[in-house]
Amino acid sequence: MLCLTSAVVWALTLPMDWSHLGSIESTPRAVRPASEVQGDLQDVSDESLRKIWSALPKEDQKEISAWYRAECDRRRTLARQLERHVFHSLKEARGKWGILEPASVYNGAKHAPAQPIMRTMLAPQDPKVLAERKRMGLTQVNPAPAWVYDWGTGMVQQSEHPFAPDHLFELALAGRAPEQDLAIALIEQALDLGTLRPIHKAFGHTYASRTGTAYSGISLYDAWGSGVKIEMPDVECLGILHDVEDDWRSFSAPVPGGQQARLYKRIGKMFHSIRRERGLAQALASSYFNADPRLDPTYSSATDRLQLFWTKHDSALDVSRAALPASSDWDAWWESLALLQTDEDLLERAAQRRMSLRTEGVRLRGIMVWVLREWGALKDK
């Protein structure tokens, strides 16, 4: 079992007011006693389930979604209890979010008036964008989150329809709880120390080539952290320098070849400072619900340390933020997590946490399968 402090257990048992989350169906179809994962139809493929789902009337999909959400609550699933703890612990942040919008591009006329190359934005599904994402090793979480944390503004942002039945269905197939996107975004927000906001905002602009092609969905942060060769147009480089340091004198476009290395070094230092802060918070937030999340390479080979962190703090968010290091202290702090592996009791509890999270993913998918079967949309073999 997941080890929680008494305070956290108390929080998980509190009745939650979901009204602040938006329009959530309130009265699901009557629920009769349900079997657990062992009795659910886990051998049904995602492809088959999607065909069944797409054939259902929209009203049925809406009711099934409400029933699934209620069933996750009734069975007191681990993921749902963790969500409740997040929402209770971070209740002051609830409702303070905006609408998810495409990232902006740097204005060539403003930041490089002597060489104002206009930006042409490609659509997210443009073959060139997809190819660039692949080259940079940028993986897309499926389904795409309905809620994300914007490091540039310090606000959680929501998609246009964050509670759409289709989205909840895809979350269930992926083994994720109904509002897990929102919970992860709130955890990131809670773990953001907030000291480097201007740099985060600058690197949140869309990545563009020297010819002005802007790749929708790929930020400068993504590009700089990809580890592959990228283009660094004067517009973006000077835009970062202007926004972060208000330095309009040291360089001007076109930047001479002899000055480029010095400019790139200054920008590189900025990126390095936010990557440690942001990468760690994102890795921890993803690991809160998932034992095997897709992470930045820095953390993907050390997921055990992330689980040790949450286990040490009993998954309690109120004490976790204070335990995070400043960017300059990251190395020593990261090594200190490795030392936790000498604590056999902690190691055992962390292993139990990982096992519980892995089982939970299968269980959540199984609940959706069970609901579809009880609805009559899925027939027994």
Q: Of 305, 315, 307, 312, whose CA–CA distance to 338 is shortest?
A: 305
Between CA 290 and CA 305 the distance in angstroms is: 13
Confirm if 275 and 297 have CB atoms less than 8 A apart: no
What's the pLDDT score for residue 293?
87
What's the pLDDT score for residue 160?
86
Confirm if 307 and 354 have CB atoms less than 8 A apart: yes
What's the pLDDT score for residue 12?
32
Q: List, in order, residues 6 or more apart from 357 with CB less than 8 Å away.
A: 78, 79, 289, 290, 291
Between CA 372 and CA 65 the distance in angstroms is: 10
Burial of 254 (0-12, 13-18, 19+ CB in 10 A): exposed
What's the pLDDT score for residue 93?
61
Domain-wise residue ranges, the chain: 41-375
What's the pLDDT score for residue 101?
83
What's the pLDDT score for residue 1?
35
Q: Which residues of the chain have pLDDT under 70?
A: 1-42, 92-96, 380-381
List C-alpha distances in Å: 297 to 227, 266, 275, 303, 326: 10, 24, 12, 11, 20
Q: How many CB atoms lie within 10 A of CB 136?
A: 18
The secondary structure element, H or E, covering residue 368 is helix 344-375
What's the pLDDT score for residue 94?
57
Helix (H, G, I), strand (E, B) or coil at 99: strand
Calculate the dihedral angle through the C-alpha atoms of 136, 137, 141, 147, rounding to the nearest 10 degrees. -30
The secondary structure element, H or E, covering residue 272 is helix 257-289
